[in-house]
């Protein structure tokens, strides 16, 4: 029954089809008994289907879904301009109280609102003053809602350039900072960091006048110091002062930044001393530490080149002005020349030279102001000196290769006689302490020799007292160890402090020979030093000192009739390789010779001529220039003027004692100079 009903339904459906509706011709007579409807045209339909598939395959559309035809309509587009940060921020500010600061809002929604707000605050330069005022007012009204989760918003707001905005914006930010410190004191560290970060200028570098702060930068710095003083006054605890110094050190500009930035930052550090005198010593320690790190990267050749260029230019201008009858303004003229030469020679000079010069100028000014201030008591000055001595021991003394920072202590020691006495005693105490490392003891002797010879604050009486002290110590050292040594085995590693003391004695004796001759008392004093015994002892100190000092001392000893010095010097020179053999020697043999002669003290003289143009005015008045006073050597030079002799020439001696081979001679160069003495010194011995 069911198959018959299904067959009737199929028959009725096939009969109801139209010829053009389905594409298949109707045939009422072709109904099978089994209920299956067939058509006589089925093979034709199958063939037509295959033809369609072949055509689609040839056209490359097999497997692609056919899309129904669409009618093309004109689409009207409009240009949508992005909104400015001020516009976006203006739209968000009214909803801050109901969204970001509302307690019923979920944390997820607050996080989303906070991210949107931080994105708008990414570029403060595009936000106008009105929008900034609205933002600060909203934050000030909801300051109790600024918990730890709002730290990014508070830090982002404090980093704005509000110090250089209109007075209304500055006042609004100052009120907001005050409210924040009262209600939310946990943000005091963030406020401190944001204020110190503004010690750097916002303007570009001024290459023409890097030693003058621009007016717009000075206004910003005044605002910063006014708020920083309020912060330190509100939190007078020592922990806040320590945090302030630590933040200053962390935010100190990198040495490669322009000199103007370093000048502004150090100026602001020194400005803090006026309203926070409790951290004066810590700030000076920080400045010396940072300048010292820059100074070791300054090539001395660049300082010498800059000094020569400035001296030549100033001399030329003075000659032109004197010929034209104009009035000479030396100070202004020098400053203009320095700035112009540095600006024009940026390709030739290392910018770190200018950076160190500017920073040292500020430190010299600061120390001079403290020493000469009427309100400064002796206790304050002595405590400052003791603190700076601790800085010297931790920063200057163990640092190798510094050129200029140590002149801070040269100026400080020369400012008062008591400072010179305490400084020399400080150094000598470390020399005589056997528990101090040998390299530190030798370094202390180098500074003692520089002070005794270069500082005009050291009188002849002080010089004689220290020469006697050092000679007594050296002779006592010889008495203890002379039995276990031989003159041919000089060992600086074992007896380094002894050789350093002897070199200081020889150097002072040759440098200030003019102050040690001319009277019977001076001759008697020279005899008490017992220098002949030091020279002829088995430790052979004349071989360990650097050659220029040894030769200069031998000349001075000849004037004072100290015997055997020339003989010992000649014997030491015979131990070196001859010049004729040196050219044909192998590399391995030369290495062994250099190793054997490595027992020469390093040629480091910390107080060689100071060359920085701006800050040298604090050093020059108390600096002694080498003036050789060797009458007999001058007479011998007049007898044989045609024969050039390097070590008997007064000018060459002056150059050697001025530079002392510092900063320019490596260990190999010192060895080479030592080997070159033989032939030339042979001529000198004949002349004498």
The confidence score (pLDDT) of residue 328 equals: 44
- If one counts the domains in the chain, the total is 2
Residue 540 falls within a domain, yes or no?
yes
The band of 1, judged by pLDDT with boundaries at 50, 70 and 90, is very low
Residue 40 falls within a domain, yes or no?
no
Of 295, 328, 354, which residue constitutes the final position of a domain? 295
Q: What is the DSSP string of 169-186?
A: HHHHHHHHHHHHHHH-GG
The confidence score (pLDDT) of residue 555 equals: 87
What's the mean pLDDT in 95-102? Answer: 60
- In this structure, what DSSP letter does residue 166 have? -
The confidence score (pLDDT) of residue 318 equals: 56
Q: Is the pLDDT of residue 32 over 80?
A: no
Helix locations, 349-490, DSSP H: 351-372, 378-391, 407-415, 417-431, 438-454, 460-481
From residue 354, alpha-carbon distances to 253, 351, 648, 662 in Å are: 15, 5, 38, 21
The confidence score (pLDDT) of residue 363 equals: 97
| Residue that is written with structure tokens 């004796």 in the block | 509
Phi, then psi, of 296 in degrees rounded to 5: -70, -15
* Residues 6+ positions from 104 with CB-CB distance below 8 Å: none
Dist. CA 302–CA 613, nearest whole Å: 12
Q: Is the pLDDT of residue 390 over 50?
A: yes
What's the mean pLDDT in 345-362? Answer: 80
Q: Is the pLDDT of residue 464 over 80?
A: yes
The band of 523, judged by pLDDT with boundaries at 50, 70 and 90, is confident
Dist. CA 172–CA 162, nearest whole Å: 9
The confidence score (pLDDT) of residue 314 equals: 56
Residue 616 falls within a domain, yes or no?
yes
Of 82-91, 111-120, 423-432, the one with minimum mean pLDDT is 82-91
Q: Is the pLDDT of residue 475 over 50?
A: yes
Select the more confidently predicted residue: 137 or 629: 137
Return the structure tokens found at 682: 């042979």
* Residues 6+ positions from 414 with CB-CB distance below 8 Å: 420, 455, 456, 457, 622
What's the mean pLDDT in 570-593? Answer: 57
Residue 378 falls within a domain, yes or no?
no
Percent of the chain with pLDDT over 70: 63
What's the mean pLDDT in 269-290? Answer: 95
* CB-CB contact of 484 with 536 (8 Å): no
Of 72-86, 196-210, 369-383, the one with minimum mean pLDDT is 72-86
Tens of pLDDT, residue by residue over 286-328, are 999 999 999 998 877 666 666 666 666 655 555 555 555 554 4
Dist. CA 146–CA 187, nearest whole Å: 10
* Residues 6+ positions from 639 with CB-CB distance below 8 Å: 687
Residue 121 falls within a domain, yes or no?
yes
Select the more confidently predicted residue: 23 or 465: 465
The confidence score (pLDDT) of residue 73 equals: 43
Percent of the chain with pLDDT over 90: 35
Supply the CATH number for residue 274's domain. Answer: 1.25.10
Residue 163 falls within a domain, yes or no?
yes
Tens of pLDDT, residue by residue over 171-206, are 999 999 999 999 999 999 999 999 999 999 987 666
Of 295, 322, 354, which residue constitutes the final position of a domain? 295
The confidence score (pLDDT) of residue 538 equals: 84
What's the mean pLDDT in 440-445? Answer: 94
Residue 324 falls within a domain, yes or no?
no
Residue 555 falls within a domain, yes or no?
yes
From residue 81, alpha-carbon distances to 75, 341, 592 in Å are: 19, 50, 79
What's the mean pLDDT in 566-586? Answer: 65
Dist. CA 91–CA 549, nearest whole Å: 79
User: Rounded to two decimals, what is the model's pTM?
Assistant: 0.74
What's the mean pLDDT in 524-547? Answer: 87
Of 245-259, 266-280, 508-522, the one with minimum mean pLDDT is 508-522
Which residues span the domain enclosing 154? 92-295
Residues across the chain: 688
The band of 124, judged by pLDDT with boundaries at 50, 70 and 90, is confident
Of 295, 311, 331, which residue constitutes the final position of a domain? 295
């Amino acid at each position: 029954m069911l198959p018959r009903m299904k067959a009737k339904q199929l028959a009725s459906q096939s009969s109801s089809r139209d010829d053009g509706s389905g594409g298949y011709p109707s045939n009422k007579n072709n109904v099978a008994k089994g209920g299956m409807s067939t058509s006589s045209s089925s093979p034709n339909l199958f063939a037509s289907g295959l033809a369609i598939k072949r055509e689609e395959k040839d056209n490359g559309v097999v497997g692609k879904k056919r899309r129904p035809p669409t009618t093309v309509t004109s689409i009207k587009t409009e240009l949508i301009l992005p909104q400015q940060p001020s516009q976006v921020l203006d739209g968000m500010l009214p909803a801050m109280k109901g969204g970001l600061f509302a307690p019923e809002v979920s944390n997820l929604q607050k996080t989303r609102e906070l991210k949107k707000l931080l994105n708008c605050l990414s570029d403060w330069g595009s936000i106008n003053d009105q929008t900034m005022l609205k933002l600060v007012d909203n934050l000030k009204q909801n300051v109790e809602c600024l918990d730890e989760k709002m730290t990014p918003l508070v830090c982002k707001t404090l980093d704005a350039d509000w110090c250089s905005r209109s007075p209304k914006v500055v006042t609004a930010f100052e009120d907001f900072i005050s409210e924040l410190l009262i209600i939310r004191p946990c943000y005091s560290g963030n406020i401190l960091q944001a204020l110190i970060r503004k010690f750097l200028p916002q303007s570009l570098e001024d290459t023409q006048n890097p030693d003058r702060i621009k007016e717009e930068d000075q206004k910003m710095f005044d605002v910063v110091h006014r708020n920083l003083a309020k912060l330190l006054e509100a939190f007078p605890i020592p922990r806040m002062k320590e945090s302030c110094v630590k933040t200053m050190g962390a935010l100190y500009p990198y040495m490669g930044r322009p000199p103007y930035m370093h000048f502004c930052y150090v100026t602001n550090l020194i400005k803090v001393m006026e309203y926070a005198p409790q951290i004066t010593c810590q700030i000076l320690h920080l400045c010396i530490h940072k300048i010292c790190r820059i100074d070791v990267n300054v090539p001395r050749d660049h300082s010498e080149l800059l000094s020569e260029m400035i001296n030549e230019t100033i001399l030329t201008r003075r000659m032109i002005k004197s010929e034209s009858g104009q009035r000479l303004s030396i100070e202004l003229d020098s400053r203009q020349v320095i700035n112009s030469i540095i600006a024009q020679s940026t390709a030739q000079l290392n910018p770190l030279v200018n950076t160190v010069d500017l920073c040292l100028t500020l430190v010299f000014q600061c120390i001079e102001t403290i020493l000469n201030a009427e309100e400064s008591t002796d206790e304050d000055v002595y405590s400052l000196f003791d603190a700076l001595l601790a800085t010297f021991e931790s920063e200057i003394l163990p640092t190798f290769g510094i050129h200029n920072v140590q002149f801070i202590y040269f100026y400080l020691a020369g400012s008062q006689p008591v400072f010179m006495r305490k400084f020399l005693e400080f150094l000598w105490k470390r020399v005589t302490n056997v528990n101090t490392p040998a390299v530190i003891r030798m370094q202390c002797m180098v500074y003692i020799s520089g002070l005794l010879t270069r500082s005009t604050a050291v009188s002849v009486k002080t010089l004689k007292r220290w020469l006697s002290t050092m000679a007594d110590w050296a002779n006592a050292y010889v008495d203890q160890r002379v039995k276990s040594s031989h003159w041919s085995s000089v060992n600086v590693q074992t007896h380094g402090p002894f050789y350093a003391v002897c070199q200081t004695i020889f150097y002072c004796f040759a440098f200030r020979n003019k102050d040690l001759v001319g009277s019977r008392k001076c001759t008697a004093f020279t005899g008490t030093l017992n220098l002949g015994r030091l020279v002829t002892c088995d430790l052979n100190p004349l071989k360990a000192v650097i050659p220029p000092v040894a030769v200069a001392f031998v000349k001075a000893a000849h004037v004072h009739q100290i015997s055997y010095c020339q003989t010992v010097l000649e014997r030491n020179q015979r131990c070196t390789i001859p010049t004729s053999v040196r050219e044909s020697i192998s590399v391995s043999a030369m290495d062994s010779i250099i190793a054997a002669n490595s027992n020469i003290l390093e040629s480091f003289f910390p107080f060689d001529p100071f060359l920085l143009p701006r800050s040298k005015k604090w050093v020059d008045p108390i600096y002694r220039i080498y003036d050789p006073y060797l009458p007999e050597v001058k007479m011998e030079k007049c007898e044989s003027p045609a024969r050039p002799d390097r070590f008997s020439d007064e000018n060459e001696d002056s150059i050697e004692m001025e530079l002392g081979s510092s900063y320019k001679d490596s260990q190999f160069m010192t060895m080479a100079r030592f080997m070159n003495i033989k032939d030339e010194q042979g001529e000198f011995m004949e002349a004498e």
